[in-house]
Structure 1
Amino acid sequence: MKDEHNPWQTHSTKEIYKNAWIRVREDKVTTPANTAGIYSVVEFQNLAVGIVPIDEEGNTWLVGQWRYPLNQYSWEIIEGGCPKGESPSDCALRELKEEAGLTATSTEAFLEMSLSNSSTDDKAIVYIAKGISEGQAEPEETEQLQLVKLPLAEAYQYVMEGRIHDAISIAALLKLKAMQVF
């Protein structure tokens, strides 16, 4: 690879806003063109974690819920926010239980991604879960979820038909297809 050094110079950082989910900062910078500028960044306080349970018959589960920021209903793999101090794999198993009532005997990380490259530091990690046992879901009080069990190949078709538009879900299901998991 050619030169991969950072051509940006950061001179100062100022916090603009902060809550439990995000922090917005404004940096005074010198750009790669050697001009003065301002760069605003949204820092996420949680790591996005997803988990794709796959049972012995090749089925998975999708969660449907209303996504307030998008003002639309969304079908997704099981996802949640991993707070600092919790391991991503523990978070994935917790979300699996909370949202779908499922437990797993094994998990394996198979996808790590940056969700934006222009204005946020939002990152995600996604796991495959196997050895699935079904139980009772325990969603958070603010979650009104639908759960559907379907063949993994059908979930992939949801992506191809545009029925799934969540970036983490799309990336995870496409990667599983490329890995020839189904």
Structure 2
Amino acid sequence: MKKVNRRWKRIKSRLVYQNPWIKLWEDKVIRPDGKEGIYGYLEKPTGVFVIAYSEKNKSIFLLRQSRYPIQKTVFELPAGVTGSGEILSEAKRELKEETGLEAKKWVNLGSFFVAPGHETTKAEVFLASQLYKNKVLVENQEGDEAIQKIIEVKVKDLHKIIQQGKIKCGITLASLILFLTKPKSTQDSKIR
């Protein structure tokens, strides 16, 4: 079979819109079929997503959070975007801010692009374990966050709630796949 080199070529970029969180670009391009066209996409910083795992309870923590763009409440992992700081430090900060929890052990489970057809966002997924703090609080959230509740979910129940469609956030679902399929060397052998 002949290998076909079908790639996009950028001719010119134009910044259409910008705020502190996103940039919207429109590029003049040569499409893979050789024709000129335009391509619009979002540029966003890397996001950190934290799976806070309790060895004692064999459970993880999810946030029930109201999301403005879809006008719905969804279950998500503790998360945030990176600033200029180091990715692990940002993950630690987000876990503490959103749940009141901290962790002694951190493992990077991997990364993925969130929606590479229309945005640049990369997700870095961390497993936080050996958790400490007696009380999980929603009062720690920033003013633009709408965390309504922090729930603890047994790992053995994750497959069931995913199959029932209770988790609608794609990034959370992809992160949970990394968690549920990771090598045993990065986890307590009794997680599954």
2:155 is equivalent to residue 152 of structure 1 = yes
TM-score w.r.t. the length of structure 1 is 0.90
Aligned identity (percent) is 25
Contact 2:10 2:27 in 1 (8 A): yes
What residue number does 1:116 align with? Answer: 115
What residue number does 1:140 align with? Answer: 142
What residue number does 1:173 align with? Answer: 176
2:92 is equivalent to residue 93 of structure 1 = yes
Which residue identity is paired with 1:143? E
What residue number does 1:33 align with? Answer: 33
Shift of 1:33: 1.1
Gaps of 5+ in 1: none
Deviation string 1:47-102 (CA, Å, 9 cap, x unpaired) is: 1110001112212111011010111101111111111x111111111111011110
Contact 1:60 1:152 in 2 (8 A): yes
TM-score w.r.t. the length of structure 2 is 0.86
Distance in 2, Cα, partners of 1:114 & 1:4: 24
Alignment of 1:47-66 (within 5 A): 47-57=46-56, 58-66=58-66
SS in 2 for 1:165: coil
2:131 is equivalent to residue 129 of structure 1 = no
CA RMSD of aligned residues (A): 1.9
Runs (4+) of structure 1 exceeding 3 A deviation are 2-6
Distance in 1, Cα, partners of 2:136 & 2:173: 26
Match of 1:163 among 166, 172, 182: 166
Which residue identity is paired with 1:175? L
Paired residue total? 179
Distance 1:133 1:5, change over 3 A: farther
SS in 2 for 1:168: helix
Shift of 1:112: 0.5
Contact 1:24 1:42 in 2 (8 A): yes
Shift of 1:3: 6.1
Which residue identity is paired with 2:129? K
